[in-house]
Amino acid sequence: AQLPAMIPAPAPANGTLVEAGDLLKTVRKLQLQPDRPMDYLSNLTCTDYQDCYEVVYHFDSTHKPGPATLLKVRTPKTNPAVPSLMSLFPGADLQEREVWDLFGVRFDGHPNLKRILMWEGFEGHPMRKDYLEPYYEAPGKLFPSRWKEGHHQRAEDRARFGDNVTYPAGFDPARWEEPSANDLGRTPVTSKSLEKLKTDTLVINLGPQHPSTHGVFRMQVRVDGERIVALEPVMGYMHRNHEKIAERNTWLMIFPYTDRLDYICSMGNNLGYAIAVEKLLGVKPPERAEYIRVIMAELTRVVNHFWATGFLLNDLGAFFTPALYAIEERELILDLFEMAAGSRMMCNYMRFGGVAADLPEEFLPLCNSLVNDRLPKAIEQMDRYLTHNEILVNRCRNVGVLPRDAAIAYSAAGPVLRASGVEYDVRKAEPYSIYDRFDFKIPTLPDGDVYARYRIRIAEMWESLKILKQALKELPGGEILAGKKLWNIRVPAGEAYGRVENPKGELGYYIVSDGTDHPYRYHVRAPSFINLTALEQMCKGHLIADVVAILGSIDIVLGETDR
């Protein structure tokens, strides 16, 4: 089969290239900079080049936010390894495991380096350029016919990797028997422990088939009675290697795939990807397109926070609340998306240099009515009914506390970070589009608990309405796309990191172009994925019932967690 074309690692045009042995010392120096201490690990990923693997780090400062600082480490193709950053940034945990899983780069010093999106025993590392899927045809689309001369073969019959499982030596799956109950993580009960009436610890699983896990997600929990002693998030059940698919698609064909990451926030996903590619293209959208983009992004924030609040209440047992307070307002906003994009959830609306279509005549009257009349009343009603509700307050206050320093160290983003008192928002830290023109605040609260995360989302909806009122009032006429519509483009060689403040936090796209019609490297910094890094920290010492509320307060979507 024809292998993907590989390029040697280019001279570092952006960022600083450091030796693996100097990585920890260099990062520590960045953390201690007096003028702008780099205390926030924004993104960590890897690129497979012809002559090495290049591990890429983006850092920012919560004290003095600005453009991300880029560090790179290169390691040989044979036995690739770099030091783990876990001792300096616990937020590197899941991201380093992802790089190990998909690229096979080992992180020395990581305390739990095992696969995270694929299963243990999976054959190979699928983001490597020489990894060919079982039904591989060509390195890029459009593919040759899959049914040459009318003769079809099932993909399963052509799989080179069999069932993709490597069993331990001497293990026969046909003879395996389920262990007895005493072997499933249970501490043996002794007469001495019975005398003290102490419970034993037990490992239980919440999910992956459970409504409280917000999708196919598993929490492996060790409990002492009802108290959480340890917790590990287990994901990957819905992984379809979004990044591998994108690297075989043309640049334009990737837009619909971004819709399916966080499928509540399609417009925001489109925007982040468009901004990343526009950095390499050197394209600036027309004024009207910029305003339309902001309108769509802020409507998306309102949609997400209504939905997140409704599901949090559902997790707390208020089964009818989502229908009463969330779904109806969301559907009215989706009507607007359908008017503009032709689709309600998978919008595929943004384009490089603008948007796909102008707003229809009926859009602005309805949007103005919603923003100025209906949505303020809906948010005020939700706030009045819920914020001082005795049951909600008792279930959420002082539960799942994430202190300020821990939130930064764990690379938390969005409402999770701001509810811990950190005034960090990409719209202000590194303004994109035309956000620097609008008057809005970054709500923060110091408590860092489930209740604070709920209140931050209510406050952010009010700020989104402020932005929407300004954008609708100032919306200019004119073109909606820089240049003409193109079905295919070639992006100049180079690399870029484009990021936006999506409703769940920083959504980043790291892209590398080799000058062809598809990305050489495409990586998604998914806030749902990284925000789960601190889940155990939030849950320890709480009850099983609290874990459901804590997970709901993080607000994850498995489409972007697993990608």
Nearest residue to 239 via CA among 542, 529, 552: 529
Helices (H), 81-128: 93-103
57 contacts 33 by C-beta, under 8 angstroms: no
Looking at the chain, how many residues does it have? 563
Residue pLDDT, tens place only, 162-171: 666 777 788 7
Per DSSP, the three-state class of 283 is: coil
Report residue 286 as tokens. Answer: 């027309």
Residue pLDDT, tens place only, 209-241: 776 667 788 888 888 888 888 899 999 999 989
Report residue 105 as tokens. Answer: 């780069």
**CA 412, CA 422: separation in Å to the nearest integer?**
10
pLDDT tier at 290, thresholds 50, 70, 90:
very high
CA 147 from chain centre, in angstroms, equals 37
This prediction's pTM? 0.87
**What was the pLDDT predicted at 311?**
85
Alpha carbons within 13 angstroms on the beta-carbon side of residue 515 total 4
pLDDT tier at 182, thresholds 50, 70, 90:
very low
344's enclosing H/E stretch is none
**CA 221, CA 207: separation in Å to the nearest integer?**
11
Compute the mean pLDDT over every residue in the chain, rounded to the nearest whole number: 87
Report residue 61 as tokens. Answer: 């400062």
**What was the pLDDT predicted at 157?**
66
CA 470 from chain centre, in angstroms, equals 29
For residue 374, CA distances in Å to 330, 345, 370, 430 come to 12, 21, 5, 32
**CA 94, CA 113: separation in Å to the nearest integer?**
9
- Residue 303's φ and ψ, nearest 5 degrees, are -55, -50
Per DSSP, the three-state class of 70 is: strand
**CA 18, CA 73: separation in Å to the nearest integer?**
5
Give the start-end residues of each E strand in 197-317: 201-206, 218-224, 227-234
Task: State how beta strands 106-108 and 201-206 pair.
Answer: unpaired
Residue pLDDT, tens place only, 97-140: 999 999 999 999 999 999 999 988 888 899 999 888 766 777 77
249 contacts 255 by C-beta, under 8 angstroms: no
pLDDT tier at 154, thresholds 50, 70, 90:
low
Q: What is the mean pLDDT of the segment spanning 503-507?
A: 94
pLDDT tier at 310, thresholds 50, 70, 90:
confident
Residue pLDDT, tens place only, 249-275: 899 999 999 999 999 999 999 999 999
Per DSSP, the three-state class of 309 is: helix
- CA end-to-end span of the chain: 26
For residue 282, CA distances in Å to 102, 276, 278, 428, 541 come to 31, 10, 6, 22, 51
Residue 417, pLDDT > 60, answer yes
Alpha-carbon dihedral angle through residues 207, 259, 475, 353, given to the nearest 10 degrees: 140
**CA 213, CA 215: separation in Å to the nearest integer?**
5
Nearest residue to 97 via CA among 73, 79, 118, 126: 118
**CA 17, CA 52: separation in Å to the nearest integer?**
13
207 contacts 218 by C-beta, under 8 angstroms: yes
